[in-house]
Structure 1
Amino acid sequence: MSKGWTKNDIGDLTGKVIIVTGANSGLGYETCLALAEKNASVVLAVRNLNKGLEAIDKIKAIVPHANCHAMQLDLNDLASIREFVHQFKARYTSLSILINNAGIMASSYQQTKDGFESQVGINYLGHFALTGLLLDLLIKTPNSRVVSVGSLIAHKTKPQFHNFKGSKSTKPLKYYGESKLACMMFAKELQYRFRLSNISTKSIASHPGISQTKLFARGSRKLSKKLMRVSLNFVGQRAESGAYPILYAATDPSIRGGEYIGPDGRGGSKGEPTELEILDELYSEHVASNLWKLSETLTGVKYKFKSK
C-alpha cells in the first residue's frame, strides 16, 4: 500500500455502477462525492429522497459532470429493500460496487418494521438482505465488489448473535457493537463463499476510525452532543478522511478480497487506510456460518451462488 493514499489515487471509474447506502451525509456523502469525481455512475440509496436530491445538488456544485441518482431505500423495512432492488434492476443491468455504509447508533430501544432491534436490523440485517437480493447482478458484473462498514467498537464486542429482537433492558451500545461485528463477520464469510463457488466478486470489510459525522450525536442529549463534538475534534478525523478506508476497499487494484481496511493511526481512530489483522482474530467459521443461517431465516433472503 502506497504511503499517503487519498481519493486522488482512485482510477477512472467510467462505466461502473455503484450503490452507496446512507449516502446523503457524512461518510456516505464523501464516498459518493469521491466516486462521482472519478466518473462513476453513483446511486445514492437513501431513506429520505429529498435529502438524497439535496446531496446530489451539493455534489454537482463541485462536480458538474457528476452522474448521480437518488433512490429511496429504508433499511428499517424489508419490503422497502425488496422494492428498491426491483426498481434498481429495472434501471440497471450491472452493479460494480455495493457499499453497505448506512448505520444508526440509537440512544434508546427501538424496533424495525419487521420486529428487529433497530441497530441490528438497519446496520446488519437490512444490508444482508440487500446484498443477497442484488447478488445476481454482482456476480455477473466483472470485478465487482461488496464493501461492508464495521466499527472500532466491534473489536471489543463478543459475538452473541442469538437475540436480534432485543429488549428495553439491554444497553443500546451493546447492540450497536453486535450489529457492526455482524457486518464484519458477514464480509469475511461472503468472501469465503465467493471463493468456494469460484466467483470473482470480492467482499471487503472496512472501518472509518472515529470520524466527525452525525452518527455520534443522533439521539444524544444537548450537553452530550457538545462534549462529543469537542472530543471528536481532538481524537477524530474529518468525514472525508474517514471515507478513505471505504474508498480504498472499493477501488484499489491491490484488493484481493477478505481484507479488513481501516486507519493506521494509534488506536485506529484516524490515519491512512491500511489492512488490519484483527478481523482474522475475531472471525470464527462456526459463528459466521450460524449467523449466516440465522440471517437468511430472519430476512427470508436466500443467497444463490452461481459461478460465472
Structure 2
Amino acid sequence: MIWSVDSIPNQEGRIVLVTGANSGLGFDTARFLLNKGAGVILGCRTMQKAELARQKLLEQTPSANIELLEIDLGDLNQVDRAADQIAIKYKKLDLLINNAGVMAPPFTLSKQGLELQFAVNHLSHMALTLKLLPLMSKQDGARVVTVSSGAQYMGKINWNDLQGNNHYDRWASYSQSKLANVMFALELHKRLKKSNCNVASLSSHPGLARTNLQIASVAANGSWQEGFAYKLMGPMFQSSAMGSLPQLLAATDPNAKSGEQYGPRFNFRGYPKLCRVAPLALNMELREKLWELSLKLIRNFIQINSFKEIL
C-alpha cells in the first residue's frame, strides 16, 4: 500500500509546531498539514523568513490557521524563550516536528560556543522537546517527530572530541548529529513509556531530498566539487514534497507507533515505510550516555525543570 499525502487523516483541531518551516521539508510539511485542517506554528530563525513563508502558504490555503514563532536553534537561550512563549500562548500542542537543521558548514560555533551542527540539529531540539513535554502531555495522541537523515547510518559519536575542537570534519560532524537525532528519539521513547506518559516519540528521514541544505552547504564551503557532485546525483534526488512524507506519516498515521522510524521505501527515495534505525542507536548504554551528556550541556545555559514531572 502506498502512503501519500492523501493518506493523512483529518487534522482539524490539532496544533502543530514545525521547526525550519520556511523552506524545504519543513515548508512542505506545514503545507500538507494546513491542507488537512491543522493549525500550524511556523518555527523559523527570523520573523522575516516566517512571514514570507506564511504569505506563500496563504496563497495556497487562504483560510489556513498559521502562527509565527521566531526560534534561532543556534542560540539555546532563544530556544528557551520560544518554548516559554508556546507554553504561555497555547493551551495545548499536539505535534512537535523537530525538522530544522544545518548540513556540513565550515567549523562554526553556536551562540553558546558549541559546534553548530551538534547544537542546532540535536541539542536545541532536545531542549525544545523537554521544555514542551508538560504541555504536550495534556493531549491524547501527542507526538514528537525528530527528523534525521540517511547520514545516521554512517554516523558515530566522537566521545573524545564531541565538538570537533581538536579535529573538525564537517561531514562526520553532520553524521554524528543525525545519529544523535535517532538516539534521542529512541531514548525519549523509552523514558516516556517508563513514565506512562501518553506522548509518542518517533523519528524519520527523507532519503535524498532536494532542499535548500545542498545549496547552503555549497555556498558556505565554496566547494565546486561538491556542487558538481550534486549535479551528477541530481536524478537520484526526489522532491522536497516526497521527502516530507516520512515525517508526515510518523506525525499523523494512526498505525505509527512510538519508537518507530520511517523513511523512503528504497532508503534514498520513494514513498515512506517503516525502516530500520542506525545499529549504533540501538545501544541503550550509549543512548543513556548521550542523553546525560546532552542534558548537562543544555543545563549549562538554560534551566529545564518542568520535564521532571514527566520523565
Whether TM exceeds 0.5 here: the answer is yes
Q: Relative to 1, partners in 2 of residues 1:114 and 1:13: Cα closer, same or farther, differing over 3 Å?
A: same
Secondary structure of 1:218's match?
Answer: helix
| Equivalence for 2:288 | 289
Is 1:273 aligned to residue 277 of structure 2?
A: no
Write the mapping of 1:29-178 to structure 2, written as runs, cut at 5 A: 29-167=27-165, 169-178=167-176
Is 1:304 aligned to residue 305 of structure 2?
A: no
The runs of 5 or more residues in structure 1 that have no matched partner are: none
Alignment root-mean-square deviation, CA: 1.6
Q: Relative to 1, partners in 2 of residues 1:227 and 1:50: Cα closer, same or farther, differing over 3 Å?
A: same
Report the alpha carbon displacement of residue 49 of structure 1 after superposing the two structures with TM.
1.1
Cα distance in 1 between the residues matched to 2:250 and 2:159? 26
Report the alpha carbon displacement of residue 168 of structure 1 after superposing the two structures with TM.
6.5
2:79–2:127 contact (8 Å) kept in structure 1: yes
Corresponding letter in the other structure for 2:113: G
- CA-to-partner distance for each residue in 1:203-249, whole Å, 9 max, x for gaps? 00100001000112214226346424423431110000000001000
Q: Relative to 1, partners in 2 of residues 1:186 and 1:132: Cα closer, same or farther, differing over 3 Å?
A: same
Corresponding letter in the other structure for 1:277: R
Cα distance in 2 between the residues matched to 1:183 and 1:166? 18
Cα distance in 1 between the residues matched to 2:73 and 2:243? 22
Q: Relative to 1, partners in 2 of residues 1:106 and 1:161: Cα closer, same or farther, differing over 3 Å?
A: same
Using the size of structure 2 for normalisation, the TM-score is 0.93
2:201–2:258 contact (8 Å) kept in structure 1: yes
Report the alpha carbon displacement of residue 70 of structure 1 after superposing the two structures with TM.
1.4
Is 1:260 aligned to residue 261 of structure 2?
A: yes
Q: Relative to 1, partners in 2 of residues 1:87 and 1:60: Cα closer, same or farther, differing over 3 Å?
A: same
Secondary structure of 1:258's match?
Answer: coil
Is 1:248 aligned to residue 249 of structure 2?
A: yes
Secondary structure of 2:153's match?
Answer: helix
Cα distance in 2 between the residues matched to 1:148 and 1:162? 25
Cα distance in 1 between the residues matched to 2:162 and 2:127? 15
2:182–2:281 contact (8 Å) kept in structure 1: no
Write the mapping of 1:14-33 to structure 2, written as runs, cut at 5 A: 14-33=12-31
Corresponding letter in the other structure for 1:188: L
Cα distance in 1 between the residues matched to 2:15 and 2:57? 17
Q: Which moved more, 1:206-215 or 1:150-159?
A: 150-159
Aligned residues: 303
Secondary structure of 2:258's match?
Answer: coil
Cα distance in 1 between the residues matched to 2:172 and 2:276? 23
Corresponding letter in the other structure for 1:258: G
Secondary structure of 2:215's match?
Answer: coil
Q: Relative to 1, partners in 2 of residues 1:36 and 1:225: Cα closer, same or farther, differing over 3 Å?
A: farther
Cα distance in 1 between the residues matched to 2:257 and 2:167? 42
Report the alpha carbon displacement of residue 157 of structure 1 after superposing the two structures with TM.
1.6
The runs of 5 or more residues in structure 2 that have no matched partner are: none
Is 1:213 aligned to residue 211 of structure 2?
A: yes
| Equivalence for 2:183 | 185
1:31–1:247 contact (8 Å) kept in structure 2: yes
1:23–1:102 contact (8 Å) kept in structure 2: yes
Q: Relative to 1, partners in 2 of residues 1:108 and 1:305: Cα closer, same or farther, differing over 3 Å?
A: same
Cα distance in 1 between the residues matched to 2:59 and 2:160? 46
Is 1:5 aligned to residue 9 of structure 2?
A: no
Secondary structure of 2:297's match?
Answer: helix
Secondary structure of 1:147's match?
Answer: strand
